[in-house]
Structure formats: structure tokens, C-alpha cells
Amino acid sequence: KLIYAEYIFAQSIRNVGQNQGVLAYNLINTAVKLNPYSDRYHLFSSAINLALAEALSTKAEINDEDKANISKLVQQSIREGKAAVAVAKYKSSNWESLSDTYRKLVSFAEGADIFAIESLNQAISLDPINPILRIKLGSLYFSQTKYDLAIDTFKLAIVAKPDLPNAHYNLAIAYKE
């Protein structure tokens, strides 16, 4: 069953590469059903759901059915991200992925920024020396015009990796604001 799930997962990845999103969506859902204990499957499913929602939202004319499907896909994306975290809750990258999903929804869903910050804080607690996580967190604070928090967070990113230009740049922009 696990080997078959891996085969289905590989087929899903292949279909994404061939721009066959709906088929990839169906295949990854099958893989998740076969092996619900793989955080990789849940993360990939989350990404596919969000990508399909984004693709639907860029249509020239969006009807009520499209709106319902977009909402459903976004909810599934979040649910799959949470499932990945539930499967491997001590894996920082799963929390980061969940945060990235929420970050993409900040302008559409009320409270998404709060969930993104909470998820990033959890990722940071699991991987405290990862400067990229702190840059993402600082960027969220910056977008909320919480410049003092952004400055403090960018400083910690610099402490973690002093030669990372992105952290210095973001810190300078936060100071400017």
C-alpha cells in the first residue's frame, strides 16, 4: 500500500510538471488516502489546492461555482497544511509551509496574518538559527506596519547569519519606515 502510494505521488508530481493540475489533484488525494501519515503528501496536496485556487481566481469572469470552488480549495489547502503539521509537528519546514499558505491568503482572509505569524513562530521555535524564517516573520510585521517588531526580528536574522544581505536590506527598509 505504501509503495503504491509513492507511485501515485510520483504520478501526481509528473502531472503537475505537465500542467495537468486537476489530474495531479486527484492523484495526490488518492496518495493521501493510501498513506495519511506522510507529511510530504499533505504538503504537496496543500500546494496543489492553493495553486488550483489561484488559477481559478485569475479567470476573466468568475461565476458563483468558481467562487465556491476557490473557497473549497483554499480550505482544503489549509486543512492539508495542518494535517502535515499534525503528522510531523516537530518539523520546522511543515510549520513554515503552513505559514506560507496563510501568508498567501492575507489579503483575502481576515486573520490569516495572525495564523501566519503563529505558524512562523512555531517554526522558529523548532529551528531558531534559521534566518529565513525570521526574515519572513519580519516581513509580516513590516506589512502590518509593526516596524519595531520587524526591526527586532530582522536583527535576530542578522545575528543568526551575519553575511545574509537580505536581512540587512530588510532591516534598513524597516529603519527607514
Write down the residue that cell numbers 510538471 correspond to: 17
- pLDDT by residue for the chain (177 residues), tens only, comes to 999 999 999 999 999 999 999 999 999 999 999 999 999 999 999 999 999 999 999 988 889 999 999 999 999 999 999 999 999 999 999 999 999 999 999 888 888 999 999 999 999 999 999 999 999 999 999 999 999 999 999 999 999 999 999 999 999 999 999
Q: What was the pLDDT predicted at 59?
A: 87
Q: What was the pLDDT predicted at 109?
A: 83
Q: With contact defined as beta carbons under 8 Å apart, do 29 and 9 qualify?
A: no
- State the alpha helices, DSSP H only, in the chain: 2-17, 21-34, 39-57, 64-87, 92-104, 112-126, 131-143, 147-160, 165-176
3-state secondary structure of 118: helix
Q: What was the pLDDT predicted at 136?
A: 97
Q: What is d(CA 27, CA 5) in angstroms, rounded to the nearest whole number?
A: 9
Polymer length of the chain: 177
Q: What was the pLDDT predicted at 177?
A: 93
Three-class SS string for 24-54?
Answer: HHHHHHHHHHHCCCCHHHHHHHHHHHHHHHH
C-alpha cell at 16: 503537475
Q: With contact defined as beta carbons under 8 Å apart, do 173 and 142 qualify?
A: yes
Reported pTM: 0.90
Burial class (CB in 10 A: 0-12, 13-18, 19+), 26: middle
